[in-house]
Structure 1
Amino acid sequence: MTLEAAAPVAPAPLDVKRISAISLDLDDTLWPVWPAIERAERVLHAWLVKEAPKTAELLVTPGILRELREATAKERSDLAHDLSALRRESIRTALRRAGEDPALADPAFDAFFAQRQRVELYDDALPALKWLSERYPLVAISNGNADIHLTGVGRWFRTAFNARAFGSGKPHAPIFRAAAASVGLLPRDVLHVGDDAALDVVGALNAGMQAAWLVRDERPWEHDSRPQLIVPNLHALCVALEAG
């Protein structure tokens, strides 16, 4: 990986010498999430057309899927941290509303989930993961239901944390602290990198980590606390770390 690009502007001092590990968000950090979700939803609909045609017809109605998701999330607040369970239960609700077997929710979700893992990484992701993993232990922290092994990036990570398995997610401090502890470190020794200003950056800062905001488009920073680094891509992150 060539590191000739100029280092990005750092709005607050980044203490590179303090960094002994890096935690990374997954969706919209290593790959764009919506193409994967949209493809998985098309596969789910095709599965329903074959196995539960009344439900498939119901879900064609504009807005109905969002309505079902919102209703499920409201009724099952205990599943707020578990996107897989929420989606499975929204499918089950749709099956019931259409008068079809709610037990089909499990295989229907399986069809969705398999496709959801078929992500297309940003061009800078694999070179950066290789470069970073040769220098730091990497830990994944995600609120989503992507699996590092099924998506093909598992080889670069020491371990991974997601909100479903952990029981709570970002921006709450426990998942960040657990990620640091998993590689034998305190949060202050870890740099967290992610695209979401509130969930990733503010969450990591509040947990005691340094934070890098990965912003691939033009968005203003709208929070009081500020990241130690703002980068437009993962290549720039590597440049900044190399320069430090």
Structure 2
Amino acid sequence: MLDLTRIRALSIDLDDTLWPIWPCIERAEKVLHEWLVINAPATATLFASAEALREIRRHMNEHRPDLKHDLSALRRESIRLALERAGDDALLAEHAFEVFFAERQKVTPFEDAHPALEFLSARFPLVSLSNGNADLARVGMARYFRAAVSARSFGIPKPDARIFHAAADAAGVRPEEVLHVGDDVLLDVLGAQGAGMQAAWINRGETLWPHDDRVPEAECFSLSELCGLLRA
């Protein structure tokens, strides 16, 4: 059960909690491919091959494990590798990544996201906590948050307890005084609980909870429902 008396701050996941991420990624990859067709056609042809892309991802996972926490660097270096393999100018990687990254920031928030953040930020300090590479200023949500903690900036991804503790520090409270809000069972719920926080599972798909021994302190099918719990 959620203990409302303990909550002094919230940490909030971004992708698939405040907006659906895959439409953004698919659109960004399409825009990147269109750019490559004009500026690096051999690489565009390579990117059109699903098997070639899988091989590049395998190569990056095997040879650059140091980038697993930094999706921006991983994407940039994957583009650089594709350029090199296709015989195009590898120096185009920076520009190509920026084309992708700019489109990736054009998120479409869930309908309840802005109203919920307005409500929550008026009552608690909010800290974003993400393994992704969204830029709160570019997506238009920075005004709600006291701080942003990401795997990219911190160097360690969720579900490691240390990144949750960093979010608590950013909010100026102890971990046990934080309610973490997120959609992912492992990365958000179990990760937060392992760090000594309470967790609210945003289960928009209304899926069954997969663990018998551990449950979230709160399960909500929307951010609006979460606000209702915290209004009580």
Give me the TM-score of the superposition, normalised by structure 2. 0.97
Name the SS of the counterpart of 1:63 in structure 2. helix
Tell me the distance in 2 between the aligned counterparts of 1:66 and 1:241.
Answer: 44
- Residue equivalent to 1:178: 166
- Residue equivalent to 1:115: 103
Tell me the distance in 1 between the aligned counterparts of 2:51 and 2:230.
Answer: 45
Structure with the largest fraction of helix: 2
Tell me the distance in 2 between the aligned counterparts of 1:143 and 1:236.
Answer: 24
Name the SS of the counterpart of 1:150 in structure 2. helix
CA contact (8 A) 2:79 2:93 kept: yes
Gaps of at least 5 residues in structure 2 are none
Q: How many residues align?
A: 231
Name the structure, 1 or 2, with higher relative contact order (CA <8 Å, separation 6+): 1
| 1:189 has 2:177 as partner | yes
| 1:228 has 2:217 as partner | yes
Tell me the distance in 2 between the aligned counterparts of 1:111 and 1:143.
Answer: 21
CA contact (8 A) 1:69 1:87 kept: no
1:108-146 deviations in Å (ceiling 9; x for gaps): 001000000000000000000000000000000000000
Identity of aligned residues (%): 58
Gaps of at least 5 residues in structure 1 are 1-12
Q: Aligned match of 1:238 in 221, 227, 232?
A: 227
CA contact (8 A) 2:206 2:221 kept: no
- Residue equivalent to 1:61: 49
Aligned alpha-carbon RMSD (Å): 0.9
Q: Aligned match of 1:76 in 53, 64, 68?
A: 64
Tell me the distance in 2 between the aligned counterparts of 1:89 and 1:52.
Answer: 16
Q: Aligned match of 1:217 in 193, 199, 205?
A: 205
Q: Aligned match of 2:124 in 133, 136, 140?
A: 136
Name the SS of the counterpart of 1:149 in structure 2. helix
- Residue equivalent to 1:208: 196
Q: Aligned match of 2:31 in 33, 40, 43?
A: 43
Tell me the distance in 1 between the aligned counterparts of 2:77 and 2:41.
Answer: 18
Structure 1 residue 70 displacement after superposition: 2.5
Structure 1 residue 181 displacement after superposition: 0.9
Tell me the distance in 2 between the aligned counterparts of 1:161 and 1:100.
Answer: 36
CA contact (8 A) 2:112 2:223 kept: yes
Q: Aligned match of 2:73 in 58, 72, 85?
A: 85
1:8-53 deviations in Å (ceiling 9; x for gaps): xxxxx11011100011000000000011111110111011111100
